[in-house]
Amino acid sequence: MGTKGKIIKCKAAIAWEGNKPLSIEEVEVAPPKDHEVRIQIIATALCHSDAHILHPQFEGGFFPVILGHEAAGIVESVGPGVTNFKPGDKVIPLYAPQCGKCKFCLSPCTNFCGKLKHFKNPMGDQKLMEDGTSRFTCKGKPIYHFMGTSTFSQYTVVSDVNLAKLDDDANLERVCLLGCAFSTGYGAVINNAKVTPGSTCAIFGLGGVGLSAVMGCKASGASRIIVIDINSEKFTKAKALGATDCLNPKDLDKPIQEVIIEMTNGGVDFAFECVGGAKIMVGKVSLLFQSWLLTTRIRNWIWMHWCPIPYLLTKSMRHLT
Ligand SMILES: NC(=O)c1ccc[n+]([C@@H]2O[C@H](COP(=O)([O-])OP(=O)(O)OC[C@H]3O[C@@H](n4cnc5c(N)ncnc54)[C@H](O)[C@@H]3O)[C@@H](O)[C@H]2O)c1
Ligand SMILES: [Zn+2]
Ligand SMILES: [Zn+2]
């Protein structure tokens, strides 16, 4: 018996409150309504932005919520009015919607869909579906969506504009990283900074975003890719992806920016902050000051207000389909 039109009971990781571990619970996932799609999540990764929500100093958290926004899955069923997806399609949920019709989606200057124009922050404002209700229930209580995706659940419901279709042979366990980290880091290098061949680059932080930025710099033909992390275990993978110099600030006896300025005879051409910290940003700007002063910042809540991240994300996503 199919599940179309029925409530699906499955497991999900619920954040009941901030600063506490997630709790694996049985949830009920309602069928998709108009222009909605229900997806079986096959693979989901953990982005640091999920963890930010749980941080006690994060303002604007909402609970209980199902986090997760970096995933890939298979369409289980579609609601009325959905024409571009069908059951069985492999898909990636997108936290930055793309209606494909509004003047912003049609403009080559931005991918910041007009659907976002009423939102101050797509993370906070996509906590319910468009009709103002949730599709998740646990122990009789409605549970908030997160970033319009909520992928820490075996099944989730998203709007049909928050979804990208994949090739049938896509490996879902790998391509889930395209849902956030890869598109953010690689897109920042290629679409925003437009790193040039032969240039020198510095990348702070080697999580999913930073390692993707390393790949972008390598693909752009950068001659020197200096990576900085306080966890030296990250350097093996960074080198495999193209890093030329690895620095751990804990091992240095002077500020990191001074070290890099000396190493590069005055500073790098491009610097990428992929940690999520204001102090690092300040240090990075001083490191660039003697040269070009071109910076790319990767940190959600500031980035979202400034607009480029959805641009980067969806620009990259378009190459997928
Ligand atoms: N679209 C967006 O705007 C967007 C998308 C994804 C992630 N982000 C943000 O980007 C940041 C990175 O995300 P991630 O998932 O790659 O994180 P992550 O936690 O996987 O990686 C962060 C890395 O930074 C390193 N680090 C921590 N403090 C450091 C310091 N002082 N100096 C150097 N390195 C340091 C850590 O050891 C770790 O390797 C987060 O703040 C996240 O919220 C933004
Ligand atoms: Zn993310
Ligand atoms: Zn649009």
pLDDT at 286: 53
CA distance 202 to 214: 9
CA distance 270 to 54: 32
Residues in contact with ligand 1 by the CB-under-6-Å rule are 47-49, 52, 180-181, 184, 204-210, 228-231, 234, 249, 274-277, 280, 298-300, 303, 309
**The pTM is what?**
0.88
Sign (positive or negative) of CA dihedral 115, 119, 125, 131: negative
pLDDT tens digits for 139-186? 999 999 999 999 999 999 999 999 999 999 999 999 999 999 999 999
pLDDT at 1: 66
pLDDT at 212: 96
pLDDT at 123: 66
CA distance 291 to 190: 20
pLDDT at 321: 17
Angle between helices 278-289 and 256-263 (to 10 degrees): 30
CA distance 251 to 240: 22
Q: Phi and psi for 177 in degrees, rounded to 5?
A: -65, -20
Residue with the smallest CA separation from ligand 1 atom 37 is 231
CA distance 268 to 287: 7
Superfamily designation of domain 8-179: Medium-chain alcohol dehydrogenases, catalytic domain (3.90.180.10)
Boundaries of every domain in the chain: 8-179, 181-314
Ligand 1 pocket mutation pick from 180, 209, 246, 303 by most atoms within 8 angstroms of CB: 209
Sign (positive or negative) of CA dihedral 155, 159, 162, 164: positive
Give the residues of the chain that fall short of pLDDT 50: 281-282, 285, 288-321
DSSP state of 178: G
User: Could you tell me which CATH number the domain at 181-314 has?
Assistant: 3.40.50.720
pLDDT tens digits for 263-310? 998 888 888 889 876 555 445 545 543 333 334 444 333 333 333 333
Residue with the smallest CA separation from ligand 1 atom 9 is 299
